[in-house]
Structure 1
Amino acid sequence: MEYRTLGKSGLKVSEIGFGAWAIGGDAWGPVEDQQSIQAMNYAFELGVNFFDTADVYGNGHSEKLVKELIKDKRDQIILSTKGGLMGHTRKPEPIYDRHEKVVKAFEDSLQRLGTDYIDMYFCHIWWHVEQETEAFLKAFDQLKQAGKIKAVGISTDNFDYLKTFNRHHSIDVLQVEYSILNRAAEKEILPYCQEENIGVVVRGPLQKGLLTGKFTKETVFTGNDVRQYWDRKWFEEQVEKVEKLKKLEREDRTLGQLALQFVLSHPAVSTAIPGAKTTDQVNQNVGASVRPLLTREELALINEISPA
């Protein structure tokens, strides 16, 4: 496992982390808790030291499972969680409009996680409402001064909101969606983070599983799987791109590992957090942390198939 410095936070994180949304059990189909805990422990054994969750994942369930991981190895893990969506209508109206509400959400996360500090805390609200932005920034400052947070950030794909949130140059980390199939962050967000020395955590590097190559145009998502709401035409277009990308597979590198190596090849990126529910998925993800990453020729072919 290779490790990178997470921007001005100074935190050393494994370049492949563990995204714990799926293990919450409310958005990605069936999941077994013991299997999830086993997957996290296996990731740790393979060198993963960065685990990312959120209060809203499974309505707190993901955080409670992460507690089982960190309880005997807290000082060896870089722990990240997010707040702001729990109980939110996800409409542009203020819900977390006072910093006390943010602090309360943070303290609730601490309790579920069974720890007294969090290495990295994110605002999980990705749109700008002045009262909420100010509430988070004030809470961040208070919690940092109290020694309960080492680094603070925001999870958003909106460049204008990122700049607004960072107007006092106080943000350490950004969590942003970035993949071969979604390269929007390359235009403004990633260069800005380099200029500001903001650490970048990439979510969605496998485009919700599309870049593993396991789906066809006939694939149907059911139950509580968030992917059932994808636009069908868009989905079929992405499957066509993925089929073309398969020519870059090798005996020693799967398509999913190629996709992870792609995001890790960008100099602004510190770590990628693909989700995993099983040890097999962990093994696949961690297998991307090898050198060399991608060649110029491979990057050129990716640019032809899925241009920026």
Structure 2
Amino acid sequence: MFTRKLGKTKIEVSEIGFGAWAIGGDAWGPVDDGQSLRAMEAAVELGVNFIDTADVYGDGRSEQLVAKLIEGRRNELVVSTKGGLMGHHRDPNGEPVYGRPAKVIEAFENSLKRLGTDYIDVYFCHLWWDKQEETEAFIEAFKQLKRDGKVRAVGVSTENFDYIKHFNREGGLDAVQLDYSVLNRSVESEVLPYLEQHGIGAVVRGPLRMGILTGKFHEGTTFGEGDIRRNWPKETWFADSLAKVETLKGLVNEERTLSQAALRFVLNHPAISVAIPGAKTAEQAAQNVSASARPLLSDEDLSIIARVK
């Protein structure tokens, strides 16, 4: 496993991480906690040191599972979590849930308890929209958490360029978590160059486009109850993505699968610090990790990818 610096921080991260959304069990169909732990253990044994979760994944279930993983080896692993996705709600007094820095810090402390640790390596604001009051609350809370030594780095989870620049207006943004893949390259024009220029680490979620770039889906694919992908087969963009995947299957060879080629594409960009594909099983985790050792993309590979841009 190769490692990279997380932007301008001193944090060394494995270039393939572990995205722990699916193991929360509330968005990607049912999961078994034992199987989820084995998946994370397999990833760590193969060199992964970056684990990403969030307070809303399984309403804390994902963070609790990560706590079991890091017990006894906390300093060996880089733990990333997020807070703020419930920002559209209001408390019993009618105040925005994250309307004050103290409320952000309260959410942070609750994540600490679930994770069984006294610090978090990277803490992200999980808001997906620009709500001024809550944005400012997060910025102020970030400063305090850093001063108190509770976090090593802070970031925001978004692709919104204006939002990223606003968070970084005083140069305090360490990382951005964003959606980037062969099938979603919108951040290449402005966001990634900005992150590279300012030394801000890029953490890539969705590098396999939520499973589409594994090549296992087809027109007859169905998703079960509780899976956020349940309505995908009805969407025209899904059919379009499947057609693009057929072209991308030209990247497959004896040395790599389609998913490994897709991960190598993401890692090809100089702004990227780590990609965090999800995995429910040890086999899936091993498949993802192996992309780190796969050959770089050739000119012929890039030509195939250019056809689906």
Query: Is TM > 0.5 for Structure 1 vs Structure 2?
Result: yes
Q: Which amino acid aligns with 2:265?
A: F
Matched with 1:269 is 272
Count of residues in correspondence between the two structures: 304
Structure 1 residue corresponding to 2:222, chosen from 220, 223, 243 = 220
Q: C-alpha distance in 2, partners of 1:38/1:141?
A: 36
Q: C-alpha distance in 1, partners of 2:112/2:273?
A: 25
1:94–1:129 contact (8 Å) kept in structure 2:
no
Q: C-alpha distance in 1, partners of 2:298/2:268?
A: 10
Q: State the 1:222 CA deviation.
A: 2.3
Matched with 1:42 is 42
Structure 1 residue corresponding to 2:202, chosen from 197, 200, 203 = 200
For the aligned residue pairs, the C-alpha RMSD in angstroms reads: 1.3
The within-5 A match list for 1:276-287 is: 276-287=279-290
Q: State the 1:229 CA deviation.
A: 3.6
Structure 2: which 5+ residue stretches go unaligned? Answer: none
Q: C-alpha distance in 1, partners of 2:196/2:80?
A: 21
Q: C-alpha distance in 1, partners of 2:36/2:258?
A: 23
Using the size of structure 2 for normalisation, the TM-score is: 0.96
Q: C-alpha distance in 1, partners of 2:88/2:80?
A: 20
Matched with 1:71 is 71
Q: C-alpha distance in 1, partners of 2:184/2:242?
A: 13
Q: State the 1:102 CA deviation.
A: 0.2
Are residues 1:235 and 2:225 paired?
A: no
Q: C-alpha distance in 1, partners of 2:244/2:181?
A: 13
Q: C-alpha distance in 1, partners of 2:294/2:215?
A: 23
CA offset digits 1:165-200 (Å, max 9, x no partner): 111111000000000000001011000001111000
Q: State the 1:16 CA deviation.
A: 0.2
Q: State the 1:252 CA deviation.
A: 1.8
CA offset digits 1:79-98 (Å, max 9, x no partner): 000000247449xx943110
Q: C-alpha distance in 2, partners of 1:163/1:198?
A: 11
1:59–1:86 contact (8 Å) kept in structure 2:
no
Cα gap change, 1:135/1:87 in structure 2, threshold over 3 Å: closer, same or farther?
Answer: closer
CA offset digits 1:190-237 (Å, max 9, x no partner): 000011110000000000000000000111222111112435211011
Q: C-alpha distance in 1, partners of 2:154/2:244?
A: 36
Structure 1 residue corresponding to 2:300, chosen from 297, 300, 303 = 297
- % identity of equivalent residues: 61
